[in-house]
Amino acid sequence: MDERFAEFDLIDLIASKVARLEPSCGGVGRLRTGIGDDAAITVPGGATATSVDAIVEGVHFDRAWSPPDAISHKAVAAALSDLAAMAAAPGEVYVTLGVPPDTDRAWLKSLAEGFATAAERFSVVLAGGDTVTSPVLFASVTVVGHAPQDTGFVLRSGARPGQLVVVTGSLGGAAAGLWLLSNGPGAADGMDEGLAEALIGRQLRPEPQIEAGLLLGAAGAASMVDLSDGLVADLGHVGRASGVAIEIDSTLVPVQPGVPEVVASAGAETAAFVLAGGEDFELAVTVEESAFLAAREGLAAAGIDLTAIGTVASGEGVSVVGPDGPVEVPAGFEHLA
C-alpha cells in the first residue's frame, strides 16, 4: 500500500482538523470561507498587519532531532512572533508546505496535525494554504493580525534618543537548546535534566510573545522587534529604521537558567548565546523612561518579566559594554549568508 499522501488527501486531513478546532479560535468571526475554496474570504474591519515567515529543513530544523509536530509548532510560532512585535492581535494563518515525494505518510500526518494543534494553542484560524512537491521539506507561513486602526501597530522606526531599551523574558535558551540537540543532552557537564529539557523546548517549541506585544503596545512602546536573529542583530534593525544608536549593558541582560552551563561545556563566550543566539522570540522594545514602570507592572501581572538593558542614543549602530569594557559580539543569524 502506498504510504504517501496525495495532495488532496493532505488538504482534506488538515481541513478536517481545522473544522474541529475553529469554534474555539479567536479569529473565526472574521472568516467567511476557508480551506476548500480557491481562496479564503475574511471580513476583518479595522487595520491588518501581514507577515510571511518560512522554515526550511537543514536551515531551521533537522528531522533527526525535531519531531514533526514540533516543526509545525515552530513554523507557526515564528510567524506569529512577527505579529507580536507589531502589537497586532493574531487572526488568520495560511500555510504552504513543500514536501519531498518520499515523505512517510505517518510522519506527514503528524506534521499536518501539528499545524492544527498550533492554531488552537495560539487561538488563530488556519484559513488556507497550498501544498507542493519539493526536494526539501519547508513550510511558509503567512499570518494576518488586526488592530482597530493602523495607529495601533508598533513599528521599528519609533526609537528616539533617551528612551530605555527593554526585553521580555530571558535570552540564550534557544541557542543553548540547539547546542544540546546537536551534541546530546548529556554534553553539558553536570546539568540538571529539567534545565536541559527546558532549553531544548525553547528551541523546538518557542512561544511567541503575543500577550506581551499587545500589553506593550497599550503601554506606549515606541518601537519593537522580535528576537529571531539575535539581540544585537535585531536591535540593529531598530537602530537603522529609527536612525539612532543603541547602547546595551551586557550585565543587565536576563539569561535563561542553564545557559551558563552550556556556555562552559561548549567552551564559548556567553555573548555567542545570549547576545547573538537567535530564535528566543522574545521582544526587544524601546520605551520612554516615564512609561517603563507602568509597562513592567502590567506585564508582571500577566506573569511576564520586563527588564531594562540599555538606552537609545544619537548616532548609529549597536554597542555593548560589560564589566570590563566593550564587548565584541559575534554576528547574529544572516539569512543569505
What is the C-alpha to C-alpha distance for residues 142 and 76, in angstroms, rounded to an integer?
Answer: 9
pLDDT for position 235: 97
Q: How far is CA 100 from CA 52, 94, 138, 167, 273, in A?
A: 22, 20, 9, 39, 33
pLDDT for position 26: 47
**Res 16 pLDDT > 80:** no
Q: DSSP alpha helices (H): ranges in 122-258?
A: 173-183, 193-204, 210-219, 231-242
Q: What is the mean pLDDT of the chain?
A: 89
- State pLDDT tens for residues 299-328: 999 999 999 999 999 999 999 999 999 998
What is the C-alpha to C-alpha distance for residues 71 and 87, in angstroms, rounded to an integer?
Answer: 25
CATH class entry, domain 7-152: alpha beta
**Res 22 pLDDT > 50:** no
- State pLDDT tens for residues 270-309: 999 999 999 999 999 999 999 999 999 999 999 999 999 9
Residue for grid cell 522570540: 281
Domain locations in the chain as residue ranges: 7-152, 156-326
pLDDT for position 185: 76
What is the C-alpha to C-alpha distance for residues 68 and 204, in angstroms, rounded to an integer?
Answer: 10
What is the C-alpha to C-alpha distance for residues 252 and 233, in angstroms, rounded to an integer?
Answer: 18
What percent of the chain is predicted at pLDDT more than 70? 87
Q: Report residue 18's pLDDT band, with 50, 70 and 90 as the boundaries.
A: low
| pTM as predicted | 0.89
Number of H helices, E strands in the chain: 10, 13
- State pLDDT tens for residues 165-220: 999 999 999 999 999 999 987 888 888 899 999 999 999 999 999 999 999 999 99
Residue 298, φ and ψ in degrees, nearest 5? -65, -40
What percent of the chain is predicted at pLDDT more than 90? 76
Assess contact for 242 and 182: CB atoms under 8 A.
no
Q: Is CATH 3.40.50.1470 the classification given to domain 156-326?
A: no
